[in-house]
Amino acid sequence: MNPGHGSAGERLADAVDARLPVHDGPGRLLRKAFPDHWSFLLGEIALYSLIALVLTGVWLTFFFTPEMSEVVYHGSYVPLRGQLMSRAFDSTLHISFDIRGGLLMRQAHHWAALVFVAAVGVHLLRIFFTGAFRRPREMNWVIGVTLLVLALAEGFAGYSLPDDLLSGTGLRIAQGIMLSIPVAGTYVSMFAFGALFPGHDIVPRLYSLHILLLPGALIALLTVHLILVFYLKHTHWRGPRRRNSNAVGKPLYPQFTASSLGLSLTVSGVLVLLAGVAQINPVWVYGPYRPDQASTGSQPDWYVGFLEGSLRLVPPWETNLAGHTLMWNVLLPAVVLPGVLFLVLYAYPFVEQRLTGEWRQEQHFCDRPRERPVRTGLGAAGITFYAVLLLAGGNDVIAQSFRISVNALTWIFRISLVVAPVLALFLTRALCRALLHAEQERLTEGEETGEVRQTLAGGYESGHRPVTSFRPGAPRQPLSPPDHPPGSRTGTPARQHPEPEPRSR
């Protein structure tokens, strides 16, 4: 129908919608394309874990008492009856043994926290290895790394609230880290604890952080993150009908909504199942915190285990300077190392794009890890570095389990911390280049049929057929001659495709 022949109301609606998409706004939103590859579900797992965290956390606030004043325990757990403990620990035992469903909710909350941090970390790895942090998504990467930092802080605050012997040992270590900061360390410790360790203020302060400030920051950043995801659209794999200017996938409604709802129910079910069958953080076994005791074989939650490992690996280095003692064995592994680690994570997208020149245009295609041997090798080196530190955090348990010397194991981890990441870098880079070469050879010569025939010259050769099956993002034709080496800076073979088109929304 010609708009010029419509009613005045229709012409006005068309004119308004052409400038402000009021009428078709919901329609465009419902038609927004979402990728259907499994790797894009990692961010959704983090979202639904956070929702489970909020729901179970709200329930727990009705019964938890964030106070450090001492009481005598008279609850249902017989081994601790008659012992002095803080009201925080007493209320934790009350939730676990006297509230119907309390232990299930406590454990579901703890499992949701572990899954949330893990999902955020793996989601960031997916973004890193596929290059989804490049223009125009640099700020979303910065927000994601900030979410990881806040998730670590939120987890540590919640882990410390029960005031049991295990979490109290962790708080004591945290205070030692604060004191290692030159000049300002004592002031930082007094500001956090409100008095000499342990004081009576740390649990109420952590409680305020855990239920109000940190969750508010997490939810606010997550909201901004999701808005940017909708506005900038998702990256997608290369393939037929896929360009740098469009987004291919299933629409938000009904396909993506149905699958996402199913995933949310699955995540919730798995968390409840874990809470029911897999015991976690049995605080009654550790007992209430006492400053003159430390729990044997204590291990923190996995996401801060790398800090524990770094503290155990650095030799006892100290420097006396102008009447001040610098504790390098605490300052370097617990303050400098995590600071440098997250600084590298924040800066990496900008540094890589400057080195490769990709900051000049928008990138909406996902890289396959093998197409970026250098970046993939650096990622493998970082994961190896983290894994060595995580294992070193349990060197005493490993030594006792395998009947080996703790000192010998510590030296093994110290050497591995330097050597293993370098080996991982070169091995991963070589593997990526070998996979690229094998893939190009397969595209050039075709797939083997399994048939062997004799040639006229008397030799034998295998039959080949054209390649018909491709993985997501895999090329449909040889990227370059098989003997063409990858680029020295990016590690990416030169693609034979037109220049990316400008993005249009």
Concatenate the DSSP letters of all residues of 293-324 into one string.
Answer: ---TT----GGGHHHHHHHHHS---EEEETTE
Average pLDDT, stretch 293-303? 77
| Confidence at residue 451, expressed as pLDDT on a 0 to 100 scale | 81
| Confidence at residue 502, expressed as pLDDT on a 0 to 100 scale | 42
Contact call for residues 463 and 454 (beta carbons, < 8 A)? no
Specify the range with the lowest mean pLDDT, choosing from 1-15, 127-141, 194-208, 271-285: 1-15
Q: pLDDT tens, 441-500?
A: 888 877 777 788 877 787 877 777 777 777 766 777 665 444 444 444 444 444 444 444
Average pLDDT, stretch 191-220? 92
For residue 250, the surrounding DSSP H or E stretch is strand 250-251
Total-model pTM: 0.84
pLDDT band at 297 (very low <50, low <70, confident <90, very high): low
Which residues 6+ apart lie within 8 Å of 330 measured at CB? 176, 177, 179, 180, 311, 314
| Confidence at residue 5, expressed as pLDDT on a 0 to 100 scale | 54
**ω before 472 within 30° of 0 (cis)?**
no
pLDDT band at 408 (very low <50, low <70, confident <90, very high): very high
Which residues 6+ apart lie within 8 Å of 244 measured at CB? 362, 363, 364, 365, 500, 501, 503
Q: Greater confidence, 145 or 302?
A: 145
| Confidence at residue 116, expressed as pLDDT on a 0 to 100 scale | 96
Q: Is the dihedral of CA 396, 402, 408, 411 positive or negative?
A: negative
CA distance 333 to 313: 8
- Quote the tokens at residue 52: 């489970």
**ω before 3 within 30° of 0 (cis)?**
no
In the three-class reduction of DSSP (H, G, I as helix; E, B as strand; rest coil), residue 93 is classed as helix
| Confidence at residue 15, expressed as pLDDT on a 0 to 100 scale | 56
Q: pLDDT tens, 100-152?
A: 999 999 999 999 999 999 999 999 999 999 999 999 999 999 999 999 999 99
| Confidence at residue 333, expressed as pLDDT on a 0 to 100 scale | 94
Q: What percent of the chain has pLDDT over 90?
A: 57
In the three-class reduction of DSSP (H, G, I as helix; E, B as strand; rest coil), residue 451 is classed as strand
| Confidence at residue 319, expressed as pLDDT on a 0 to 100 scale | 86
List the beta bridge partners of residue 86: 70
Which residues 6+ apart lie within 8 Å of 319 measured at CB? 325, 326, 328
| Confidence at residue 16, expressed as pLDDT on a 0 to 100 scale | 53
Q: What is the mean pLDDT of the chain?
A: 85
In the three-class reduction of DSSP (H, G, I as helix; E, B as strand; rest coil), residue 473 is classed as coil
